[in-house]
Amino acid sequence: MIKDVIKRFYDEVLNADDLDVADEIVGPDFAPRAGSVRGPEALKETARYLRSAVPDLHFDVEDMIAEGDRVATRWTLRGTHQGDFFGFPATGGPLEVHACVVFRLEDGKVAEIWPVIDSSSLPRAA
């Protein structure tokens, strides 16, 4: 059940750009980073930002492990780097970023997220 929520997080919200799904799977206190908007709108804001940087983005989830109220994922984000990506200016070339993310769910919805990005996979200056 909790894996299904995270599968929807990646497949429906991030990959398919169906932002309305965020209202179903994200709790009211979800905030991916300090000072950001909270709740489903926080995920929608993040998804919009990612799409602005990588319009053809696709998350491939390689591993998903669940225990209790936690789900851990290991994924690769692929696409074409067309806009600012967390401070890295657009290269116009292919982008491939690797990360592991741990989610905490509460009442069947995403409550917290802890991403760890592989910095060696981030874009390089030309």
CA 41/CA 99 separation, integer angstroms = 23
Note whether residue 56 is domain-resident.
yes
Which residues form the domain of 17? 2-121
CA 11/CA 56 separation, integer angstroms = 14
Domain with residue 74: its CATH number is 3.10.450.50
C-alpha closest to that of 43 among 66, 18, 68: 18
What is the count of structural domains for the chain? 1
Contact between 31 and 37 under an 8 Å Cβ cutoff? The reply is: yes
Note whether residue 77 is domain-resident.
yes
Note whether residue 64 is domain-resident.
yes
Q: What is the pLDDT along the chain (126 residues), one digit of tens a residue?
A: 899 999 999 999 999 999 999 999 999 999 887 667 899 999 999 999 999 999 999 999 999 999 999 999 999 999 999 999 988 899 999 999 999 999 999 999 999 999 999 988 887 654
Q: What is the pTM (predicted TM-score) of this model? A: 0.92
